[in-house]
Structure 1
Amino acid sequence: MNRNFKLCTCAGGIFVCYFYYGVLQERITRGIYKIGDVEEKFVYILPMVGLQCLVNTIYAMILNRFVNPPAKDTTTPGYHAAVSLTYLLAMVFSNKALQWVNYPTQVVGKSCKPIPVMLMGVLLSRRRYPLRKYLFVLLIVVGVAVFMYKDDVKKEPAGTEGLGEVLLLLSLLMDGLTGAIQDMMKNDFKCSSGSMMYSMNLWGTVYTGLAVVMTGELLGFLSFVQRHPSVLGQLASLSVASALGQYFIFMTISEFGPLPCSIITTTRKFFTVLGSVFLLGNSLTNRQWLGAVAVFTGLILDSVYGKTPAPKPVTNGKAKTDL
C-alpha cells in the first residue's frame, strides 16, 4: 500500500471512529429516554466504561496474537494494576462529567492533558522540558480558562455548581498519573504498547466488574437496559468505535511515529467540537470559540515543536545535556 494512502487511511479511521464515538457518547450520557410520560437519563457510567474495557481487551488480545506479537512482558504486576486504575478513573470521571457539562466543554477540558502529564513528569520522573513547551502549555491553560469561564451558573441545579469541571480536573489528574507510570514502565521494563494496552484494559475490566457488583449498579443497569433496550446497541457501537479507533492510532504510531498521530488526534478533537455544535445543537459563545482556538493552537504547536529536543548549550567546549 502506498505510504501516503496508508497515512490518509489511518487519519480517516481515527477521524471517523472517534467522531462517531464522541457524538454517540454525548447522546447516551445526555439523552432523555422515555417510556410513556416517564423520562430518565442514563447514569450507569461504570458498566459503560467496563464494556469498553472488555471490547478493548479482546481487540488487544487479537492484535497481539495475530498482528504484532509483543516480546515477553517482564513488568511487575503492580505497575499494570496501578496504571490501569488511574486510566480507568480518568475515563469514569470524564464520562461522569458529561452529566453536568456538554461535550465541547469536556473535549476542551480534556485537551489540557499535556499539563498534568508534564507536571507529573517533572515531579515523579524528574524530567526537564524546553522553555517553548512551557509557553505552549501556558497558551493551552489560558485558552481553557477563557473557554471555561462562566458568565452565570443559573442553569445548574443547586449544589452542583462546577461539579462537571471538578470531575474534569480529577480526570486530568488521573491522566497525569497514568502518563508518569507508563513512563516508568517503558524506562524500567521496556513494556510494549500492545502488552500495555492489553493489561490496562484487562485490569480495567476486572475493576469495573467488581465495582458494578459491589455498588449494586449492575442491577440498576440491567433494569435500565430492560426498559430501554436500544441503549445496549448504542453501548456496543460505542465500544467497537473505541476499539477500532485504538487500532488506527496503534497503526499510525507504528508506521509513522507519535508526531503525526498527535497532530491527527488533536485536529480530530477540534472537528469533534464542531460536530457537537452543529449536529447536537450545543452552542458556543464568541469567547468560547476564542478559547477553543487558543487551546488547539497550543496543542498543535506542542505536537509539532514541543517534543523537539532543546538545544544543548556549550560551556568550555563541552556540551551540556538538557533533556
Structure 2
Amino acid sequence: MDLNNPWKNISISIPSRDTMSLHIKPKEDIWVLGINLSRFNKPAQFFICVAGVFIFYLIYGYLQELIFSVEGFKPFGWYLTLVQFGFYSLFGLIELQLIQDRKRRIPAKTYMLIAFLTVGTMGLSNTSLGYLNYPTQVIFKCCKLIPVMIGGVLIQGKKYDITDVSAAIFMSLGLIWFTLADSKVVPNFNVTGIILISMALCADAVIGNVQEKAMKLYNGSNSEMVLYSYSIGFVYILFGLLFTSGISSAVAFCSKHPVQTYGYAFFFSLTGYFGISFVLALIKLFGALVAVTVTTGRKAVTIILSFFFFAKPFTFQYIWSGLLVVFGIFLNVYSKNRNKMSLPSITRLWNSVIQRSIRTLPQSV
C-alpha cells in the first residue's frame, strides 16, 4: 500500500442500470392529456383524475346508449368494440408520438393477457346492451367492487375487513333487487344479457388488479398500456369476427348509417380514451380499489342521466335498490378513509349502546 497516495488501490464499482432497476425504480412523471400530474400534490391529483373520469365518461355513457338506440344496431355490439379498439390504438399511437416515449416496458406476454381481459370486459359489456336495459347494465358495473375484492385477494394477496365485506353485501342485495325490478317492468328482459354483463364484470375485476400490478412492477406509462392492450385486443376481435362471419352484416349496416354509427363511434371512442387515461392514472397513483370506487360513483350519475335523456320504464324499486348500492359504495369509501373521517366505527357504537344501557339499568330498577 502506498502511504503517499492512500486512494490509489481503492476501486469503486458501479452496478449496471439493469441491476439497479431491480432494486431502485426511478420516479417517472405521470402525464395525462398533456397534464403532468407529478407536479401536483396528492389531493390535487385525485381531484383532477376524478374530474376527468366524470366529465369524459358521462359523455361516453350518453353516446354509448345513443348508438344502441339506432334501430337495428343492437346485434352489432362486437363490431362496435372492434371500431372502438381501433380508435383507441390510433389515439394511443398519436399520444406516444407526441410525448416521444416509444419504449415498451411491460412484457408482451402480460399485454396479451390484459388485451384478452379488455376484450372480455368491453366486448361483453357492449354486447349485453342488445339484451339489457341500459341502467341495469350500469348497475351491474357499479358492483365491480365485489369481484375486484376477490381478485385482490387471489392475485395480490390483499385482506379486507368487515366494513369492506359489508359494502359488498349491500351492493349484492341492491344488485339483486334492481335486476328483479327490471325483469318486471321491461318487456324484452333477457337472461342472456345478465350472463354477458356478469362475465364482463368478472373480466373487469381481474383487469384492474393485473394493470395495477404490471404498472407498479415495470413502471409502464398510461399511453403504453392503452396502445398495446387495445391494439392486441383489436387483433383478437378481428379474428373472432372473421371466424364467425359476423363482420360483413355489421359493415353493411354501418355503411347505410355512417353518421349514427361511425360518427358517434368516433366521439364515443375519443371520450372513452380520455376517460381510460384518467382511470389508469388513478390506478397508478391510488390503486385499483380507489379507481373502482370513483368509476362506480360516475356510473350512479350515468343511471340518473339515462332516465332523464332516454325514455324507458321506471319503478321506485330502482331507487331503493340503487340506494343500497350507493350505501355499499359509501361503506367502501369510509373503510379506505376512516382515519380522515370522524364517523365512529360499528364496534364503538355498539359499545356505547351497551354502556348507556348499563348506566340506566339501576335507575329503571
Name the TM-score class by shorter chain. Answer: 0.7 to 0.9
Give the Cα–Cα distance (whole angstroms) in 1 for the partners of residues 178 and 314 of structure 2.
9
Shift of 1:170: 0.9
Aligned-residue identity in percent:
23
Distance 1:116 1:248, change over 3 A: closer
Q: Does 1:19 align with 2:58?
A: yes
User: Contact 1:19 / 1:268 at 8 angstroms: preserved in 2?
Assistant: yes
The 3-state SS of whatever aligns with 1:15 is helix
Give the Cα–Cα distance (whole angstroms) in 2 for the partners of residues 114 and 188 of structure 1.
23
Give the Cα–Cα distance (whole angstroms) in 2 for the partners of residues 194 and 87 of structure 1.
15
TM-score (norm 1): 0.79
What whole-Å deviation, never above 9, does each CA across 1:134-186 have from its counterpart, x for those lacking one? 111112111111211248558556xx741111111111121233234335534
User: Contact 1:136 / 1:298 at 8 angstroms: preserved in 2?
Assistant: yes
Which of 232, 241, 245 is the matching residue for 2:262? Answer: 232
Contiguous gaps of at least 5 residues in structure 2: 1-34, 340-365
Q: Does 1:243 align with 2:282?
A: no
User: Contact 1:70 / 1:192 at 8 angstroms: preserved in 2?
Assistant: no
What whole-Å deviation, never above 9, does each CA across 1:69-111 have from its counterpart, x for those lacking one? 4865152x22211121111111111111111211111111011
What whole-Å deviation, never above 9, does each CA across 1:181-220 have from its counterpart, x for those lacking one? 3355346545444432222111111112222222222211
User: Contact 2:181 / 2:317 at 8 angstroms: preserved in 1?
Assistant: no
Query: If you compute each CA radius of gyration, which structure gives the higher value, 1 or 2?
Result: 2
Structure 2 match to 1:265:
295
The 5-angstrom pairing of residues 1-323 of structure 1 reads 11-32=50-71, 40-67=72-99, 69=101, 72-75=104-107, 77-150=108-181, 156=187, 161-186=190-215, 189-230=218-259, 231-250=261-280, 257=286, 264-306=294-336
Q: What letter is aligned with 1:46? A: W
The 3-state SS of whatever aligns with 2:200 is helix
What whole-Å deviation, never above 9, does each CA across 1:104-135 have from its counterpart, x for those lacking one? 11111011111112112323443322222111
Q: What letter is aligned with 1:239? A: S
What whole-Å deviation, never above 9, does each CA across 1:42-95 have from its counterpart, x for those lacking one? 4212221122112222222333443484865152x2221112111111111111
Query: Please, what is the CA RMSD of the aligned residues?
Result: 3.2
The 3-state SS of whatever aligns with 2:121 is helix
Distance 1:74 1:172, change over 3 A: closer
TM-score (norm 2): 0.71
The 3-state SS of whatever aligns with 1:43 is helix
Contiguous gaps of at least 5 residues in structure 1: 33-39, 310-323
Give the Cα–Cα distance (whole angstroms) in 2 for the partners of residues 127 and 95 of structure 1.
30
Q: How many residues align?
A: 298
